[in-house]
Amino acid sequence: MGKKVIRVMVEGGKASAGPPLGPTLSALKLNVGEVVKAINDATKEFEGLTVPVEIHVDTTSKKYEIKVGVPTTTALLLKEAGAKQFTGDPAHQKIGDISFEQVVKIALLKKDKLTARTLKAAVKTILGTARSIGVTVDGKDPKEVQKLVDTGYYDEILNKYEPEWEKEV
């Protein structure tokens, strides 16, 4: 038969043997409990967020590999801000505040999905999303923070994380 890829969306650390995952894994004659446990272990850091997961199965040997994607930028920002969801007008209703370092952390998580070539550009992209959902950064409007990034205000923090960006891209 060969190889098969199963794509599912699961809540971080809370995959279950119920549909659609359980029946699909059973049909491939895999140990459902073992695979679900492996998915939960792999997605634990994204608890409370919906995460894309791919299970690559060799149908002959019954070996599998789990690849965990990254939640949306909006979901990551909401989690960092401790907000449940965005509702209303982001220009007037602020739903939470995060630190600049949290923005950098999200940019590093999303680097494979962003088209930005530099960490600075990636951070500015994340700041744009933060502004669109009403999340402030260090108590400031993200647009103001973007201008500070351009002036070099945050260069010390960015330089600290630049090696992570460089080696992983």
> Which DSSP category does 45 fall into?
G
Return the pLDDT at 85: 64
This prediction's pTM: 0.75
Tell me the domain boundaries of the chain. 3-68, 73-168
Between the alpha carbon of residue 153 and those of residues 56, 116, 139, 144, 149, the distances in Å are: 44, 20, 15, 11, 6
* Fold classified for 3-68: Ribosomal protein L11, N-terminal domain (3.30.1550)
Residues of the chain with pLDDT under 70: 1, 84-93, 167-169
Between the alpha carbon of residue 9 and those of residues 42, 72, 85, 92, the distances in Å are: 13, 12, 19, 33
Between the alpha carbon of residue 142 and those of residues 75, 99, 103, 106, 155, the distances in Å are: 17, 11, 10, 14, 16
Return the pLDDT at 83: 75
Q: At what angle do helices 73-81 and 119-133 cross, to 10 degrees?
A: 70
Helix (H) or strand (E) holding 159: helix 155-168
* Amino acid at residue number 104: V
Instruction: Please say whether the structural domain 73-168 has been given the CATH code 1.10.10.250.
Output: yes
